[in-house]
Each structure stands twice: as structure tokens, then as C-alpha cells.
């Protein structure tokens, strides 16, 4: 009896406490102040960044090399996805963000100032497969759209045969493997299909409505793993990971009607022919021209045009300059295609727009 | 009568026991903090999920198209995947867990019982990402053959052919359930072991004296008394299975669909939150928080019904 009374009283008290706490927290949210970090003159400057996991490898490689030359500047690139990078930059939690896609118009209001895009590299996305006895596979955009919409369900389908004259294709069932996490790779892969295959109906995006019974896997490595384990599987994997995993990659038909296997040269060729807008954003999917690998994903560094912190602004400018010059020679060593000279020059010129202080 | 003044001295209101009072208020504050934290979590997450709730209305839980790039957020298939994987895991885990608990309490010698108990507890100490890794690298590729064999063996048997029909994927509902079953076995085992241990020795002895075999004694004397505790053990296991995130996300195949085929891919709420969070923004992010709210409600319902069942059976036993 006694314990029961106690419990009831405690519950009442607790309920009151919750109400009070909620009231307090509601009031508190208005009066919060943001602390501005202070920067010491000659001390070490750390540039914090988050965003695109696709460019993380390049950022880390470049940051290390940059730090070796400029020991006073450290760059901490945290990854986490393009969306996280944009959100963090909008909240001024980071000094720059990595992103695989421009900011949507609807989200522009979240940012506290004008933004600058700096393209830093591009890389091919490979269509990988596992099929015994088939070492060379050619796929047109229409066929890929048919496969990834489950309209083509076996490997000996007439559409695949038409792309691969003379190849003996088995009747194995096709298993579609896609990213289960929201991903810039999915976004760029579907952008290609939207651009190149009229029959593609799933639109583009970080996650799309994949057909029933397709398999979702985590990250590029998850898709690579899943495809290599499943006979008859097909998936799309970032070139660096596909290469590392030693996977079979299909040659894709480009606009010049050539069969193009994923390569850094193919990605670089794609960037040469894109229509670059004034803010240096562009769409690289299904670019025209000879030697182009059509599923090419560009990536940008996103910064505020006005840098209020002098030390950080100066360091950021120096790092961006490094990324666009010497950093470009590092890109191929970690499986990214360097920017074409013309585009790099435009980006270097844009550094002048970065206002410091 | 003589002792009353002494008791008063111990519990009296003198200045000497300020320490007690301080301790009391600290303990009270800690207790209340739990309520406050829970309340704040519920409040904040509902608040953050509101854009998605108002966008979808009731459709958030009654429709099954989860298509972020088209701004459709119907979580029914995810709720189904969560429930189905958890129930399948229970079907696999409960008989084994009860078996272990019975073995430990009724049959094993104290030494063996201790060994088995600590081995089972070790299972609970393995981080779930390790289960996930094991499942992707070892389980998923190897069970595929078994699934395919079951699929073709049952192709003409009704019911079974719909359960084992469809695709036979390593990354599927069944694989996720196997991993979950292993993960929830320790909690169900240890809770049911405690429930079984509370049954008085005299009850069992009575049943045996009346000529019951050991199994009959367990059935008539042990199970009825422990029913509340056993049910609670199962429900808490269910709660754990529904909330498990990373290990499931790694092997379930992440395909939001409602299917009877247990060898086909599916998706759960927790797994979807984990995998889509990184690139989500705006209403998609709100919808993922919304999944958290739904899951929160589910687990609260399950846990409180477990408590209720235990309390009711305790009362019944006491009367």
C-alpha cells in the first residue's frame, strides 16, 4: 500500500516537472546566444568541414599534403554526406562543405550569405556486375534503365543481346543492387538515366523508388560486396571502390555512340564538354563528345563568399588555391579525374570573389 | 514500546541527518531526470517530425510508398518489415531461449548452469555492428543456397510456397531475423531464467510427489507460476528486436515492400533512419524523425504491456 501511494505521488511530481521543463525549454530557445570563436594571430588555424563522402578521400589526401607545406593550417574534413555538409554550412558549424550537387532553390534561404562553388574533381560511376562467363559487357542507357526498372529481368533478354552481339549470355535472373543510404552516387547515376534514357521513369535523387525485390546495400563498399556475392547481380559503384574490389565493369554507350569503359580519362573528357554556369555549377551526366564516359559525377567545395574570420578566411583561400593547382595532380593518385585546365582556371579566378574580413 | 525512542533517533528530524536529506533529493532528482529526458525526447522528436506528419496526414502510417525524391513518405511497408522481422526473430529465438532457461534452472548442475549462463551473457556483450559484419560476410552469402533449396522443394506446397516464394536472396527478411534471433536470445534467456527460478521448489516437489514426470511437473507447476515473467521476457525481446538498427540495416536488403516471401528483401524503420539520414534534408529528414516517433510509440507500448503483464501475474500469485 505504502509503496503504491509513493509511486502515485512520484508520478504526479514527475508530470509537474515535465511540464515545467517543457515551459522552460520553450522560453530558453529565444534567448540563446552564439559564441564566436576567437582566432589567435600566429597560432594554428583549423578549418572544419563536412559533407560529400565521395570527395572525402581527395580532401584527406590534399589536406595532408597541404598541411605538410603549411604546418599552421589543419583541415578536418568529416564527411557525412552532401546534405549534412550543406546543413552544417548553413548553421555555420563548418568553414566549408563538400557537395556533389548544387543547393536547391528552396534551401537557399537557410544560408547566411552568398555562396561560392569551387569544382575540385570528378569521377566515373561504374556499372558493375557479376555474371559467370561474361568478361565483357556493353550496355546502352536504355538497357540500363530497363534493367534498373525491372523491365528486363534475365541476362539473355533481347535488349542486352542487342547491345552485346556475339556474346553468349546466360538465362540467369538479374538481381538489382542499389544504395540503401541516401547517396550522391545514386543521385548522379539517376541523373544520367534521366538525361540519357527516355524510358527511365523513377526520376533522379539521393534515394529513388527502386523496384520491389531489388537489394539495397550500405555505401559503395556494401553495393560492391553485395554484387560480388550474388551471381547475376548488377549495381552501380563509385569507380575507386569498384577498382579496389576488382569488379567487372560494363562499357556504357556515350553520346558519340562509342562503348566507353569507366576511366579517369573518360571522366575528364566529360568535364571538357559540359556547359559551365556563371557560378561554376554544371551537369556532367551524359556529356557529349568523343572519349566521354557518360556516368560522370562532379564534386564541389561550397563556401561563403564573405569570410568574417580573417585567419580562417586566409587559410581557406590558400587551401582552395592548393586544391585547384597542386591538388589537381594528386587527384588521379586516388582515382579522381582532375579538372580540365580551362575549368580549373575559371575556379582559380573565382578565388578573387572570396572576401576576407 | 521501549524501542520507539531509538527508532525516532534514527529517522528523526534532527539536524544530524542533513546528509540523508541531501541524498534523498539527489536520488529524487535522478529519478525525475528520467521522466524529463523521456518527455523532452518525445516532445522534440514529434516537433521535428511535424512537417512530415502534416504533409502526409494519416497516410504516414497507412500508405506504403516511401519515395523520398518524390516527397512520398508512407511508412506502412517499413512498419511491416519491422514487425515481421521481429516476429520471425521471436519464432526462432523463443523456443531456444526457453530451452536454455529450463536447462539451466531444472536440469543442469550448478557448475554447468553457471558456465552456460555466462556464455549466453557474452552474446549480449557483442556490439551489434559486429553481428552485422558477420551476417554480411558470412551468413548472407552462405544461406542463399539453403533458401534456394527450400524454395524449390516447397514450390508446390500451398502456404509454404508463398512463404518461401519470390526471390531467394541472401540479403533478406529471413537473414535479418536470424541475426536478430541471436541478438535477442540473451535477454529472453536471462529474463525467463529469472522467472523460472522464482517458482518455489516445494511446488515442483509436490507435483513430483503426486507422480508427475519431470516434464509434467514443469508443465503443471512451473509454467503457470512463471507465465507472467516468461511473457514479459518475450515482449522485452520483441522490443529489442524492433529497435535494433545497424545489424538489420546491413542484411535486410533495404527494399520497402510488403511481402509474404521471407526470403525477399524488406526494410525496417530503424534501419531506414540509419541509412537515409546522412543525405536527408527538409521534409525527408522530418519523415525520418517521424519514423523514430512511430518506433518510440511501438516500443513504449510493448514495454509497458510487458510491465503490465508482470504486475498482473504478480498480483494473481500474491492473492
**pLDDT at residue A192 in the model:** 96
Q: What is the DSSP string of A153-213?
A: -BTT-HHHHHHSTT-----PBPEEEEESS--HHHHHHHHHHHHH-TT--S--SSS--PPTT
Q: Chain B contact for A32, CB < 8 A?
A: no
Sort out which chain B residues have CB atoms less than 8 A from A226's CB and list them.
Answer: 171
- State the smallest CA–CA distance between residue B305 and chain A in angstroms: 18
CB of B195 closer than 8 Å to CB of B232: yes
What contacts A121, CB < 8 A, 6 or more positions away?
A55, A58, A298, A299, A328, A331, A336, A337, A338, A339
Sort out which chain A residues have CB atoms less than 8 A from B284's CB and list them.
Answer: 182
**pLDDT at residue A221 in the model:** 87
Residue B53 pLDDT class (50, 70, 90 cuts): very high
- The CA distances from residue A342 to A208, A210, A275, A349, in Å, are 34, 38, 12, 11
Q: What would the mean pLDDT of B276-297 be, rounded to a whole number? A: 89
Is the pLDDT assigned to residue A25 strictly greater than 50?
A: no
Is the pLDDT assigned to residue B5 strictly greater than 70?
A: no
Is the pLDDT assigned to residue B271 strictly greater than 80?
A: yes
Q: Based on the domain organization, do B63 and B191 belong to the same domain?
A: yes
Averaged pLDDT of chain B: 89
Domains delineated in chain A:
2-121+299-356 (3.40.190.10), 125-277 (3.40.190.10)
Contact B254 A229 (CB under 8 A): no
CATH number for the domain that contains residue B105: 1.10.3720.10
Q: Based on the domain organization, do B274 and B132 belong to the same domain?
A: yes
User: In angstroms, rounded to a whole number, what is the distance separating the alpha carbons of residues A301 and A59?
Assistant: 10
Residue B298 pLDDT class (50, 70, 90 cuts): very high
Averaged pLDDT of chain A: 87
* Inter-chain Cβ pairs, chain A and chain B, closer than 8 A: 129
CB of A266 closer than 8 Å to CB of A257: no
Q: What is the pLDDT of residues B100-157, one digit of tens each?
A: 999 999 899 999 999 999 999 898 899 999 999 999 999 998 998 899 899 888 888 8
- The CA distances from residue B108 to B114, B117, B182, B191, B204, in Å, are 9, 11, 22, 18, 16
Contact B257 A107 (CB under 8 A): no
Sort out which chain A residues have CB atoms less than 8 A from B70's CB and list them.
Answer: 203, 205, 209
What b-and-e string marks burial along B195-223, b requiring 16 or more CB atoms within 10 Å of the CB?
bbeebeeeebeebeeeebeeeebbebbbb
Is the pLDDT assigned to residue B182 strictly greater than 90?
A: yes
**pLDDT at residue A38 in the model:** 42
Q: Based on the domain organization, do B151 and B193 belong to the same domain?
A: yes
Q: Which domain holds residue B230?
A: 57-318
Residue A42 pLDDT class (50, 70, 90 cuts): low
Sort out which chain B residues have CB atoms less than 8 A from A302's CB and list them.
Answer: none
Contact B136 A222 (CB under 8 A): yes
Q: Report A:132-161 residues touching B (Cβ under 8 A).
A: none
Residue A193 pLDDT class (50, 70, 90 cuts): very high
Q: Based on the domain organization, do B41 and B168 belong to the same domain?
A: no
Sort out which chain A residues have CB atoms less than 8 A from B280's CB and list them.
Answer: 83, 182, 206
Residue of A201, A207, A226, A230 for testing the chain B interface, max B β-carbons within 10 Å: A207
Q: Based on the domain organization, do B237 and B145 belong to the same domain?
A: yes
B254: left (phi over 0), alpha (psi -120 to 50) or beta: left
Is the pLDDT assigned to residue B3 strictly greater than 70?
A: no
Which comes out higher in pLDDT, residue B300 or A24? Answer: B300
Q: What is the pLDDT of residues B13-28, one digit of tens each?
A: 555 688 889 999 999 9
Contact B39 A22 (CB under 8 A): yes
**pLDDT at residue A15 in the model:** 47
Q: What is the pLDDT of residues A148-178, one digit of tens each?
A: 999 999 999 999 999 999 999 999 999 999 9
Q: Chain B contact for A86, CB < 8 A?
A: yes
Residue A26 pLDDT class (50, 70, 90 cuts): very low
Q: Based on the domain organization, do B34 and B117 belong to the same domain?
A: no
CA angle B201, B205, B209 (to 5 degrees): 175
**pLDDT at residue B6 in the model:** 54
Q: Based on the domain organization, do B41 and B95 belong to the same domain?
A: no
Percent of chain A with pLDDT over 70: 88
**pLDDT at residue A22 in the model:** 43
Contact A180 B69 (CB under 8 A): no
Contact A213 B265 (CB under 8 A): yes
Contact A184 B277 (CB under 8 A): no
Residue A81 pLDDT class (50, 70, 90 cuts): confident
Sort out which chain B residues have CB atoms less than 8 A from A9's CB and list them.
Answer: none
Q: What is the pLDDT of residues A124-151, one digit of tens each?
A: 999 999 999 999 999 999 999 999 999 9
Which comes out higher in pLDDT, residue B301 or B69? Answer: B301
User: In angstroms, rounded to a whole number, what is the distance separating the alpha carbons of residues B65 and B70?
Assistant: 10
Q: Which of A81, A107, A173 sits opposite B278 (nearest CB)?
A: A81
Average the pLDDT over each of A32-41, A220-229, B284-293 and give the range with the smallest value: A32-41
Q: Based on the domain organization, do B172 and B119 belong to the same domain?
A: yes
Residue B312 pLDDT class (50, 70, 90 cuts): confident
Residue B68 pLDDT class (50, 70, 90 cuts): confident
**pLDDT at residue A253 in the model:** 96
Sort out which chain A residues have CB atoms less than 8 A from B249's CB and list them.
Answer: 180, 218
Which comes out higher in pLDDT, residue A33 or A257? Answer: A257
Is the pLDDT assigned to residue B9 strictly greater than 80?
A: no
Q: Report A:158-177 residues touching B (Cβ under 8 A).
A: 173, 175
Q: What would the mean pLDDT of B162-170 be, rounded to a whole number? A: 83
**pLDDT at residue B14 in the model:** 54
HSE at residue B23, side-chain half, CA atoms within 13 A, is 4
Tally the residues of chain A: 357
Q: Based on the domain organization, do B267 and B302 belong to the same domain?
A: yes
Sort out which chain A residues have CB atoms less than 8 A from B136's CB and list them.
Answer: 222, 225
Q: What would the mean pLDDT of B65-81 be, rounded to a whole number? A: 91
CB of B105 closer than 8 Å to CB of B217: no
- State the smallest CA–CA distance between residue B130 and chain A in angstroms: 15
Q: Based on the domain organization, do B47 and B65 belong to the same domain?
A: no
**pLDDT at residue A1 in the model:** 39
**pLDDT at residue B4 in the model:** 53
Total count of domains within chain B: 2
Is the pLDDT assigned to residue A17 strictly greater than 60?
A: no
**pLDDT at residue B244 in the model:** 92
**pLDDT at residue A128 in the model:** 97
Q: Based on the domain organization, do B117 and B134 belong to the same domain?
A: yes
Q: Based on the domain organization, do B136 and B274 belong to the same domain?
A: yes
Residue of A25, A83, A91 for testing the chain B interface, max B β-carbons within 10 Å: A83
Q: What is the pLDDT of residues A207-237, one digit of tens each?
A: 899 998 899 998 888 899 999 989 999 999 9
**pLDDT at residue B165 in the model:** 81
pTM, whole model, 2 decimals?
Answer: 0.78
- The CA distances from residue A30 to A24, A26, A278, B23, B49, in Å, are 11, 8, 39, 35, 21
**pLDDT at residue A46 in the model:** 94
Q: Chain B contact for A183, CB < 8 A?
A: yes
**pLDDT at residue A24 in the model:** 41
Q: Which triple of cell numbers denotes residue B302? A: 510493448
Sort out which chain A residues have CB atoms less than 8 A from B140's CB and list them.
Answer: 229
Q: What is the pLDDT of residues A260-284, one digit of tens each?
A: 999 999 999 999 989 999 999 999 9
User: In angstroms, rounded to a whole number, what is the distance separating the alpha carbons of residues A42 and A122?
Assistant: 35
Residue B282 pLDDT class (50, 70, 90 cuts): confident
**pLDDT at residue B162 in the model:** 85
Amino acid at each position: 500500500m505504502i509503496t503504491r501511494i509513493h509511486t502515485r505521488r512520484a508520478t504526479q511530481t514527475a508530470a509537474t516537472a515535465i511540464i515545467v521543463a517543457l515551459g522552460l525549454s520553450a522560453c530558453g530557445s529565444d534567448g540563446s546566444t552564439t559564441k564566436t570563436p576567437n582566432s589567435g594571430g600566429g597560432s594554428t588555424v583549423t578549418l572544419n568541414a563536412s559533407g560529400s563522402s565521395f570527395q572525402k578521400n581527395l580532401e584527406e589526401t590534399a589536406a595532408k599534403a597541404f598541411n605538410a607545406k603549411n604546418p599552421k593550417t589543419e583541415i578536418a574534413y568529416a564527411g557525412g554526406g552532401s546534405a549534412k555538409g550543406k546543413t552544417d554550412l548553413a548553421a555555420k558549424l563548418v568553414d566549408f562543405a563538400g557537395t556533389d550537387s548544387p543547393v536547391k532553390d528552396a534551401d537557399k534561404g537557410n544560408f547566411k550569405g552568398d555562396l561560392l562553388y569551387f569544382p575540385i574533381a570528378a569521377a566515373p560511376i561504374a556499372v558493375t556486375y557479376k555474371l559467370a562467363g561474361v568478361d565483357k559487357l556493353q550496355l546502352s542507357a536504355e538497357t540500363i534503365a530497363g534493367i534498373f526498372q525491372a523491365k528486363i529481368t534475365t541476362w539473355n533478354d533481347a535488349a542486352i543481346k542487342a547491345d552485346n552481339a556475339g556474346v553468349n549470355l546466360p538465362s540467369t535472373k538479374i538481381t538489382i543492387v542499389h544504395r540503401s543510404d541516401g547517396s550522391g552516387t545514386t543521385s548522379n547515376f539517376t541523373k544520367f538515366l534521366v538525361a540519357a534514357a527516355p524510358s527511365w521513369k523513377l526520376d533522379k535523387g539521393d534515394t529513388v523508388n527502386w523496384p520491389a525485390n531489388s537489394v539495397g546495400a550500405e555505401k559503395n563498399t556494401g553495393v560492391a560486396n553485395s554484387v560480388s556475392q550474388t551471381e547475376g547481380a548488377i549495381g552501380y559503384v563509385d569507380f575507386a571502390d569498384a577498382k579496389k574490389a576488382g569488379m567487372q565493369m560494363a562499357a556504357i554507350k556515350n553520346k558519340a555512340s562509342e562503348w566507353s569503359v569507366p576511366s579517369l580519362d573518360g571522366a575528364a573528357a566529360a568535364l571538357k564538354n559540359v556547359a559551365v554556369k556563371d557560378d561554376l555549377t554544371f551537369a556532367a551526366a551524359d556529356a557529349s563528345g568523343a572519349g566521354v564516359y557518360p556516368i560522370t559525377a562532379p564534386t564541389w567545395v561550397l563556401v561563403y563568399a564573405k569570410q568574417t574570420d580573417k585567419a580562417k578566411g586566409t587559410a581557406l583561400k590558400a587551401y582552395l588555391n592548393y586544391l585547384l593547382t597542386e591538388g589537381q595532380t594528386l587527384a588521379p593518385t586516388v582515382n579522381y579525374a582532375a579538372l580540365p585546365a580551362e575549368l580549373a582556371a575559371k575556379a582559380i579566378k573565382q578565388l578573387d570573389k572570396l572576401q576576407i574580413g | 514500546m521501549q524501542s520507539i525512542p531509538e527508532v525516532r533517533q534514527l529517522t528523526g528530524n534532527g539536524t544530524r541527518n542533513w546528509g540523508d536529506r541531501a541524498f534523498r533529493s539527489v536520488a529524487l532528482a535522478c529519478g525525475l531526470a528520467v521522466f524529463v529526458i523521456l518527455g523532452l525526447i518525445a516532445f522534440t522528436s514529434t516537433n521535428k517530425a511535424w512537417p512530415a506528419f502534416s504533409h502526409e496526414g494519416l497516410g504516414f502510417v497507412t500508405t506504403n510508398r516511401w519515395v523520398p525524391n518524390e516527397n512520398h513518405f508512407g511508412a506502412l511497408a517499413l512498419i511491416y518489415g519491422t514487425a515481421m522481422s521481429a516476429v520471425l526473430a521471436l519464432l526462432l529465438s523463443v523456443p531456444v531461449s526457453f530451452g536454455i532457461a529450463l536447462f539451466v534452472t531444472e536440469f543442469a548442475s550448478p557448475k554447468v548452469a553457471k558456465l552456460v549462463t555466462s556464455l549466453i551473457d557474452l552474446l549480449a556483450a557483442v556490439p551489434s555492428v559486429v553481428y552485422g559484419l558477420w551476417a554480411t560476410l558470412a551468413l548472407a552469402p552462405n544461406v542463399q543456397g539453403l533458401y534456394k533449396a527450400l524454395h524449390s522443394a516447397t514450390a508446390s506446397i500451398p502456404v509454404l510456397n508463398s512463404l518461401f516464394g519470390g526471390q531467394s536472396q541472401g540479403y533478406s527478411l529471413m537473414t535479418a531475423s536470424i541475426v536478430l534471433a541471436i541478438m535477442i536470445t540473451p535477454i529472453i534467456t536471462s529474463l525467463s531464467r529469472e522467472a523460472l527460478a522464482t517458482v518455489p521448489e516445494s511446488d515442483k516437489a509436490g507435483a513430483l510427489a503426486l507422480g508427475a514426470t519431470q516434464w509434467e511437473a514443469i508443465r503443471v507447476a512451473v509454467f503457470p507460476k512463471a507465465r507472467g515473467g516468461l511473457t514479459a521476457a518475450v515482449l522485452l525481446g520483441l522490443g529489442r528486436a524492433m529497435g535494433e538498427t545497424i545489424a538489420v540495416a546491413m542484411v535486410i536488403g533495404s527494399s520497402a515492400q510488403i511481402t509474404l516471401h521471407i526470403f525477399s528483401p524488406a526494410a525496417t524503420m530503424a534501419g531506414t533512419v540509419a541509412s537515409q539520414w546522412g543525405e536527408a534534408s527538409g521534409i525527408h529528414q522530418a519523415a525520418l524523425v517521424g519514423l523514430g516517433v512511430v518506433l518510440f510509440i511501438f516500443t513504449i507500448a510493448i514495454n509497458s504491456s510487458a510491465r503490465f503483464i508482470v504486475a498482473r501475474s504478480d498480483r494473481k500469485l500474491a492473492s
